[in-house]
Chain A
Amino acid sequence: MKLIKQFFMISCKEATYLVSLKEEGKLSFSKYLKLELHLAICILCKRFEIQTGHFCKLAKQHPLKPEAKMSTEKKLAIKTLLEEA
């Protein structure tokens, strides 16, 4: 039993670490199997994978900040710089 555990089981810490490698397709086949096995039986790590995947995708669609304004002083400073350049 101990042997099986050693060969097939990974910890939650390792599983969550491997999730990012899986995302980029950088897992060896054996690591991939170990991760999938872990995710199949560990609801917490499965949640981690789904939730991080969800917010990273949202982050990717980050809208530009329409309300962001640059200070007038800085704009003037740049205008002056460009005139001198």
Chain B
Amino acid sequence: MENNYQLDPNKWIDNYADALYGFCIVRVNNQSIAEDIVQETFLSAWKARETYNAVATEKNWLYAICKNKIIDHYRKKGATITTETEESDSYFDNEEHWTKEKQPNDWGLNGQTQIEKKEFYQVLANCKQKLKELQQQVFVLKYLEDFDSDQICSILGISSSNYWVLIHRAKLQLRNCLEKKWIKI
């Protein structure tokens, strides 16, 4: 190797396993899947250690591999999940107006009052868990990974109309859940 940088896998795990695990758990919501993804990340990194050239920091290099593993996971998952048919609709009535019980209440966002941010991520994680799997995945890919709809459709192997329905349902459900559990109206 040209560089004299020595990669030490034992140190890797001590230094990065928890951080990578934290990165994964937010995205896949499942302990054993997250652990397996971290394991695959380290294995791939180890096999590819010859190509590591110290241009990227070791940490960023591992994160980049980990991110690809998460997308691979979604890609495999997407193919096995049947896309959903329109479920019975509790958000809108027959005329497609909001129903009384699910209509958005005022969160006081216009008054610029700072809503408590502290609890938000815990509540969001709980609300996210209640979504159907495919809805969770489109939400994570769109709002945590910053992909656009076309990229997400190709990762998950779904049609674009399917995508828009999924993201619509995910937002309706998350908004409703956050209103109850976070804003507490």
Contacts and interface: CB of A to CB of B under 8 A. Distances in A.
Q: Is the interface of B mostly helix, strand, loop or mixed?
A: helix
Interface in A1-43: 11-14, 16-17, 19-21, 24, 26
Interface residues of B, number: 53
Given A55-B175, A55-B178, A82 B92 contact: no
Contact of A12 (B25, B39, B96, B121): B96
Interface in A22-79: 24, 26, 44-45, 47-48, 50-52, 54-56, 58-60, 62-71, 74-75, 77-79
A67 B164 CA distance: 34
A70 B46 contact: no
B35 A58 contact: no
Contacts of B121: 62-63
B81 interface: no
Q: Is the interface of A mostly helix, strand, loop or mixed?
A: helix
Interface residues of A, number: 43
Contacts of A77: 39
Contacts of A14: 96
A64 B18 CA distance: 10
Interface in B11-36: 13, 17-19, 21-23, 25-26, 35
